[in-house]
């Protein structure tokens, strides 16, 4: 007879194993250039999401029946040598289980939508390989019991996002935007990795059980405090900001809309954009150790919400408007986390993700919906002037310009971070070429301006 913990372990492994299996099937068949057909892909996708969802619901039911709020399941030591071990651990609590269920519900919905939406699309198989990678990353991040495991899932989500932004790869714009997204994600990943390593180093453990105290979420007490907690917290905040497109990294979010609608829905409307908030919820015990840190989280959240509201007001295409609308809510969720309303933030996150997925999925038929509405009421829908129109003269002009330029965030990052970096290394490259020319006795060649790169940066 299986005991409670063993049953949860089996269900948990099932929830994670199902998407991993999907990824393996898609990955191997693609590598061998024997991709699954559209029908098989759709069925596999459906089966995996249903299996994962049932397993997650099973875990939830067992925990409710048993009255437990926290279950930690050690899958095993992935790597273990003296002084170092990398354990794979899953955690089931009031945060991870709803997030896993949300992931399966939304991924299943979008998967079912995508099997029709992407019908006969040239990159159909590529889309579903990346989709499978995303689901694995999402479920791994949600259920991760150690910060290293969370990092692994986090990176998988990032890669699949960047590649899906560049999905329509016959044009340069998606490729350029995919690279942008990837660069921001790498910054975010670097911050998270540093935080993970510092935490591991400070406490000797990467387990959330140890790091955030033994109490069930959100009542834990952080194993670190003082300045180390502040440093780790700030690193985690940078990681969350990159992933959730918080200020100053918000510029990538509208660019990410280059991808196909199903991926926009599940990534930037629903799941991926909330991962930063999820990370902050997971490490919320660290936020409690420093009022300055909590204040920074609130300020960042409110600033993002305000920024996204202004910029979103002047967007003229539906996906960009929705992406900024998402960002407003993500900003508010982050602010709620900083204030300490953890359950409110979680409920806000779950509700917002579902609503936004629906809106994104309906986006391609927006004009049709409008026509139906207008036909029903017999005249045109009223058009409002927008909130910026209410501002007085000069301020209104400034606000419009600010909003149309998306807060100049991209320009600022390009001008003060990226271009100096690129110029410095291009100069080094030119010097190196001169040096080798000198050694070989060739005449020095004129330095060519890498126009393509400059265009990309700009």
Partner 1 sequence: MSVVPLPVPWMEAAIVLALVGALTVSRFRDPLRAYRWGLAFTGIAFICTLLACLGFYLCRLEGVELEGGLQVRIWGELIFGIDELNAPLLAVVGLLHFLTALATGRTKMRRFSISWSLASEAIRLATFACTAPWVLIVLLTACTIPPYLELRNRNKPTQVYALHMGLFVVLLVGGWALVESQMVSPLLAAPLVAAILIRCGTAPAHCWVTDWFENASFGNALLFVMPLSGVYAAIRLVLPVAPDWMLQWIGIASLVTAVYASGMAVVQRACRRFFAYLFISHASLVLVGLELHTAISLTGALALWISVALALSGFGLTLRALEARFGRLTLTSYHGLYESSPALAVCFLITGLTCVGFPGTLGFVAAELVVDGAVAARPMVGVALVLVGALNGIAAVRAYFYLFTGSRHASTVSLEIGMRERLAVLTLAALLLGGGMIPQPGVASRYRAAIQILQEREARLPPTDADEAVVEHAGK
For residue 248, whether the previous peptide bond is cis, meaning omega lies within 30 degrees of 0, is yes
- Binders of partner 1 in range 56-95 (CB under 8 A): 77-84, 86
Out of 11, 100, 156, 281, the only residue in the binding site for partner 1 (CB under 8 A) is: 156
- Binders of partner 1 in range 417-446 (CB under 8 A): 421-422, 424-426, 428-429, 432, 435-436, 439-442
Q: In this complex, which beta carbon is closest to partner 1, that of residue 183 or of residue 224? A: 183
Q: In this complex, which beta carbon is closest to partner 1, that of residue 5 or of residue 210? A: 210
Tell how strand 70-81 and strand 84-93 pair up.
antiparallel
Element (H, E) at 75: strand 70-81
In angstroms, the CA 279 to CA 239 distance is: 9
Structure tokens at 70: 């926290």
In angstroms, the CA 95 to CA 269 distance is: 20
Q: Is 152 in the site for partner 1 (CB under 8 A)?
A: yes
Here's the x/- map for partner 1, 1-30, by CB under 8 A: it reads as -----------------------------x
Which residues are CB-neighbours of 48 under 8 A, at least 6 positions away?
18, 19, 21, 22, 132, 135
Q: In this complex, which beta carbon is closest to partner 1, that of residue 84 or of residue 383? A: 84
Number of residues assigned to the chain: 458
Q: In this complex, which beta carbon is closest to partner 1, that of residue 317 or of residue 432? A: 432
Out of 169, 225, 365, 372, the only residue in the binding site for partner 1 (CB under 8 A) is: 169
DSSP 146: B
Q: Is 182 in the site for partner 1 (CB under 8 A)?
A: yes
Q: How many residues bind partner 1 (CB under 8 A)?
A: 62
CB of 289 vs partner 1, minimal distance in Å? 20
CB of 233 vs partner 1, minimal distance in Å? 17
Out of 1, 2, 3, 33, the only residue in the binding site for partner 1 (CB under 8 A) is: 33
> Is the Cβ–Cβ distance between 52 and 104 less than 8 Å?
yes
In angstroms, the CA 419 to CA 78 distance is: 41
Structure tokens at 51: 């299996």
Instruction: Look at the block and give the residue holding tokens 């003269």.
Output: 393
In angstroms, the CA 311 to CA 388 distance is: 10
Q: Which residues bind partner 1 (CB under 8 A)?
A: 30-31, 33, 77-84, 86, 122, 148, 151-153, 155-156, 159, 162, 166, 169-172, 174-176, 178-179, 182-183, 186-187, 189-190, 193-194, 197-198, 200-201, 421-422, 424-426, 428-429, 432, 435-436, 439-442, 448, 450-453
């Amino acid at each position: 007879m299986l005991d409670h913990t063993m049953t949860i372990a089996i269900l948990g492994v099932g929830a994670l194993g199902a998407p991993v299996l999907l990824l393996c099937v898609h990955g191997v068949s693609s590598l061998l250039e024997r991709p699954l057909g559209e029908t098989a892909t759709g069925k596999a996708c459906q089966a995996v999401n249903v299996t994962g969802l049932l397993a997650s619901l099973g875990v939830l039911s067992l925990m409710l029946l048993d009255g437990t709020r926290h279950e930690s399941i050690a899958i095993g030591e992935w790597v273990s040598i003296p002084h170092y071990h990398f354990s794979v651990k899953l955690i089931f609590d009031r945060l991870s289980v709803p997030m896993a269920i949300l992931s399966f519900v939304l991924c299943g919905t979008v998967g079912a939508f995508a099997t029709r939406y992407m019908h006969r699309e040239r990159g159909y198989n590529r889309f579903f390989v990346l989709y499978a990678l995303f689901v694995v990353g999402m479920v791994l991040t949600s259920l991760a019991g150690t910060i290293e495991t969370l990092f692994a899932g986090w990176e998988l989500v990032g890669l699949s996002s960047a590649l899906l932004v560049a999905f329509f790869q016959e044009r340069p714009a998606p490729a350029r935007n995919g690279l942008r997204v990837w660069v921001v994600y790498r910054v975010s990943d670097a911050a998270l990795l540093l935080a993970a390593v510092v935490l591991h180093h400070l406490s000797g453990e990467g387990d959330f059980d140890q790091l955030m105290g033994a109490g069930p979420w959100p009542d834990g007490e952080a194993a670190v405090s003082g300045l180390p907690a502040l440093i780790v917290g700030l690193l985690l905040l940078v990681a969350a900001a990159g992933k959730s497109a918080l200020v100053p990294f918000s510029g990538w979010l509208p660019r990410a809309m280059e991808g196909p609608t199903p991926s926009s829905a599940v990534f930037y409307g629903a799941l991926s954009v909330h991962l930063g908030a999820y990370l902050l919820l997971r490490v919320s015990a660290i936020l409690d150790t420093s009022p300055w840190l909590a204040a920074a989280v609130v300020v960042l959240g409110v600033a993002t919400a305000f920024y996204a509201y202004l910029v979103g007001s002047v967007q003229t295409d539906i996906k960009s408007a929705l992406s900024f609308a998402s960002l407003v809510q993500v900003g508010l969720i982050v602010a709620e986390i900083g204030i300490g309303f953890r359950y409110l933030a979680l409920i806000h996150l779950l509700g917002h993700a579902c609503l936004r997925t629906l809106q994104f999925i309906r986006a391609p038929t927006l004009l049709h919906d409008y026509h139906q509405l207008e036909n029903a009421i017999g005249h045109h829908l009223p058009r409002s002037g927008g909130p910026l129109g209410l501002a007085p003269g000069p301020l209104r002009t400034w606000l419009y310009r600010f909003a149309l330029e998306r807060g100049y965030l991209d320009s600022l990052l390009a001008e003060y971070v990226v271009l100096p970096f690129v110029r410095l290394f291009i100069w080094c490259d030119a010097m190196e070429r001169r040096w080798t020319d000198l050694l070989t006795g060739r005449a020095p060649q004129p330095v060519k301006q890498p126009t393509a790169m400059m265009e990309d940066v700009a």
